[in-house]
Amino acid sequence: MIKIIPNIFTSLNLFFGCISIIFLQSKDFNYSAIATLFSIIFDFLDGFFSRLIKNQKLFGKELDSLADMVSFGIVPSIIVFLLLEKKTPIPFIEYSAFFISIASAYRLAKFNIFTYCKNYIIGLTTPINTLFFSSLSLIITNDNIPFFQKKIIYLITMLLIIFLSCYLLVSHIPMFSFNFENFSWKKNKIRYIFLLISTFLLLTLHMRGVPCIIIFYIIISIYFHRSKQKIHN
């Protein structure tokens, strides 16, 4: 009975992913973001309990990828599609949003084949990518930011974000994981620095801090990886 707990969490991840899509149909980004947050929580619990009870079976791995494709592959594409729809001067450009789904599917398939180090993850994970777009949708729709009012600038920015998202999903850039082996500063320096700065950004910027934190996560991962390469060289 204990061994099916991870699969239950995976199913709940998929369930809330579907709920998020339903809310997006009515352009309710607020409730969609809440549903996406639950998907991320259950996806984390799925992996946590799989490692805890040492039940990382092939079936669970495949089920997890299928659930992630809905919650973290289709959902961000629909979000971007809606953010671009009827807001740019170029017709049909909003369909470029579904390149995110393609990149997510490619990443999830690759993740099932290769085994990565527990200290880092190769490329940007689909849940973090979805969290970025979900928080971005709340900022764009709820905040009156002059930058997003100009259609050409808005279009170029969104297309650039789509491109970077797809690139990071399938890239081989090492991103540090949040698996604490112990609580020592030396072995977890990057994690402690990230958590401290992330807390500061959330307290000062609130919702606007979420995409900033994700961008910072990418930058600090690249920086520390290059620093290690220089040391080894």
Q: How far is 73 from 67, CA to CA, in rounded Å?
A: 9
> Looking at the 3D structure of the chain, how many domains does it have?
1
Secondary structure (H, E, C), 62-109: HHHHHHHHHHHHHHHHHHHHHHHCCCCCCCCHHHHHHHHHHHHHHHHH
- Say if residue 231's pLDDT is above 60: no
Query: What are 132-151's pLDDT values in tens digits?
Result: 999 999 999 887 776 666 78
Question: Is residue 147 assigned to a domain?
Answer: yes
Residue 130 inside a domain? The answer is yes
CATH number of residue 53's parent domain: 1.20.120
Q: What's the whole-number mean pLDDT along residues 50-79? A: 85
Answer whether residue 30 is part of any domain.
yes
**Residue 206 resides in a domain:** no
Give the pLDDT of residue 18.
Answer: 97
Q: Which residues pair with 122 in a beta bridge?
A: 174
Dist. CA 123–CA 200, nearest whole Å = 25
Residue 229 lies in a domain: no
Residue 76 lies in a domain: yes
Residue 168 lies in a domain: yes
Domain that holds residue 133: 2-180
How many residues in total does the chain contain?
A: 233
The verdict on residue 192 lying in a domain is no
